Amino acid sequence: MKVLLLGSGGREHALAWKLAQSPRLTKLYAAPGNPGIAEHAECVALDPANPHAVLAFARDMEVGLVVIGPEAPLVAGVGDLLRDNGVLVFGPDATAAQLEGSKGFTKDLCTRESIPTAAYARVTDIAAARAALTGFGLPVVIKADGLAAGKGVVIAMTADEADAAIVDMFDGSFGDAGTEVVIEEFLTGEEASFFAITDGTAVVPFGSAQDHKRVGEGDTGPNTGGMGAYSPARVLTPELEARAMAEIVEPTVRAMAAAGMPYSGVLYAGLMLTADGPKLIEYNARFGDPECQVLMMRLEDDLLDLLLKVAEGRLGESTPPRLADTVALTVVMAANGYPGTPEKGGAISGIAGAEAHGAKVFHAGTALAGDTLVASGGRVLNVTATGASVADAKTAAYRAVDAIAFPSGFCRRDIGWREVERESNGTA
């Protein structure tokens, strides 16, 4: 079967690497892809967020399945147009992708279905926001409603900070994402990412991970797309995972189907593990990046088979995906300046050496300048390794990191630290 993969980051490299292991794959196309993905796919110059261009390509090349990596094509309606035209696609329709695209939509769904989440208010102007704020304690969380590339969330410690955040969001700094604002109760606990795949009816767990969103060691400094991750996140125990499925994910899938917008694809639940159990922080309508990279390292099943079952609505016929017992850990090597203005064009070498001992280096933001591999984005490489424990996987990943020469880049040295601490003091 021919497959078209949309996207160009480390998540898509991991998906391409795993898809390429399927005996059913005859040809993989990637749009636009990157130099790492090019090892497994023919990269094509096609705008992945242009539904008509994607449909035309899929038809011309007789593509049997389109796999959508990032959120932009989902929100642009690529899934809808493909499905309407009988092309199998992994990824939800635009209306279903509102679970990621609109925080207000998701919060209202949680209220209707009694899904545990932070108390909240939706507001559309400054006066209403100020009035609503009086109902919340401190700290308080203020979010632009729409997609703001992870930057539309402020945790205000004081009333002045809360007011400043509100003024900021309504003054247009987030574009359309800031025309509505959600004010939320601040939740305390440890965060975990939980994944499930669903064909709109059947839904099965697809593993857990924990990522590090802050740029600095000890989880300090500005938010990023993620500086590293490991899987599984044992803090999400089997009991808590069962609760997350029963109390959060399953009611969501049922409610979406009942509302006439069945959700098909991967549902990524950002959870806060509070003293009262797991609560939903947010949904994403795609695999996490870099969480996908660690999940793919652990997946024992044929990825193409699984994604096809989802796309065909046959997930109920199969057994749940099997993930290896080993731990996978990935370290993001980023370009200096990230998450502000990353320095582009820095040379990278040493990847073959890094992979010599079983690590896998996924390309996230790379390009070729002649024969030289260079940085072309903020997050550049995802250096990924496995081990019997988080500590072992971490040692193997950093050994590989140290084999790479990327003078204009940096990485955190403490990925997985919470779990490494628990392992070393016997509380893991």
What one-letter code names the amino acid at 274? T
Number of H helices, E strands in the chain: 15, 23
Quote the least distance from Cβ 342 to ligand AMP, whole Å. Answer: 21
Contact partner at residue 288 from ligand GLY, ligand AMP, none, CB < 5 to 8 Å by partner kind: ligand GLY
Check residue 282 for interaction with ligand AMP (CB under 6 A): yes
E strand intervals along 73-124: 89-90, 120-123
State the Cα–Cα distance between residues 143 and 10, nearest whole angstrom. 27
Closest CA relative to residue 65, chosen from 13, 28, 17, 12: 28
Q: Is 123 in the site for ligand AMP (CB under 6 A)?
A: no
| The entry of ligand AMP, ligand GLY, none that residue 282 binds, CB within 5 to 8 Å by partner kind | ligand AMP
* Residue closer to ligand AMP, measured from CB, 55 or 141: 141
196 part of the interface to ligand AMP, by CB under 6 A = no
The footprint of ligand AMP on residues 201-260 (CB under 6 A) is 213
Q: Which is nearer to ligand GLY, 291 or 414 (CB)?
A: 291
Q: Would you count residue 270 as binding ligand AMP (CB under 6 A)?
A: yes
Biggest CA pair distance of the chain: 60
CB of 203 to ligand GLY, least distance (A): 20
User: Using CB under 6 A, which of the segments 180-188, 250-258, 285-293, 313-321 binds ligand AMP?
Assistant: 180-188
Residue 42 touches which member of ligand AMP, ligand GLY, none, C-beta under 5-8 Å by kind: none
Does position 141 bind ligand AMP by CB under 6 A? yes
Buried b (16+ CB within 10 A) or exposed e, 284-317: bbbbbbbbbbbbbbbbeebbbebbbbbbeeebee
CB 409 within 8 A of CB 334: yes
- 82 touches ligand AMP by CB under 6 A: no
At residue 180's C-alpha, the angle toward residues 175 and 184, to 5°, is 120
Candidate list 181, 281, 385, 396; residue touching ligand AMP; CB under 6 A? 281
The span from the CA of 213 to the CA of 216, in Å, is 9
Which chain residues interact with ligand GLY by CB under 6 A? 211, 225-226, 284, 288-289, 291
Of 132 and 209, nearer to ligand GLY (C-beta) is 209
Q: What angle do CA 70, 34, 322 make, to 5 degrees?
A: 55
